[in-house]
Amino acid sequence: MVDFIICDDSNRTVNDVVNIIDKFMISNNIHYKTHKFFDYDEKFMKLMDSPLNHKIYILDIETPTYSGIDIARKIRSKDKSSVIIFLTGHDELGLIVLKSCLNFLTFISKFDDYELRLTQALDEALDLVYSKKSISFLEHGIRYNIVINNILYITRDTIERKTIIKTDSNEYKIYMSLEKINSLSQNHFIKTHKSCLVNMSRVDKIDGNRNLITFDNGEVIDLLSNKYKKEVINNDTKC
Interval 88-112: pLDDT, tens: 776 555 555 544 555 677 878 887 7
- Give me the domains of the chain, ranges plus CATH numbers: 2-129 (3.40.50.2300), 148-238 (2.40.50.1020)
Question: What is the reported pLDDT for 93?
Answer: 52
Let me know: does 85 contact 107? Beta carbons within 8 Å: yes
Q: Which residues pair with 4 in a beta bridge?
A: 34, 56
Question: Comparing 40-54, 107-121, 210-224, which segment has the lowest mean pLDDT?
Answer: 107-121
With a pLDDT cut of 70, the percent of the chain lying above it is: 91
Question: What is the reported pLDDT for 58?
Answer: 95
What are the CA-CA distances from residue 141 to residues 60, 125, 154 (Å)? 34, 22, 22
pTM of this prediction? 0.60
CA distance linking residue 125 with residue 82, whole number of Å: 9
Question: What is the reported pLDDT for 124?
Answer: 87
Indicate if the pLDDT at residue 49 is higher than 70.
yes
Angle at 47 between CA 131 and CA 85, to 5 degrees: 50
Let me know: does 118 contact 17? Beta carbons within 8 Å: yes
Question: What is the reported pLDDT for 88?
Answer: 79
Interval 196-235: pLDDT, tens: 999 998 999 999 899 999 999 899 999 999 999 888 888 7
**What is the mean predicted confidence (pLDDT) over 143-149?**
79
Question: Comparing 20-24, 104-108, 158-162, which segment has the lowest mean pLDDT?
Answer: 104-108
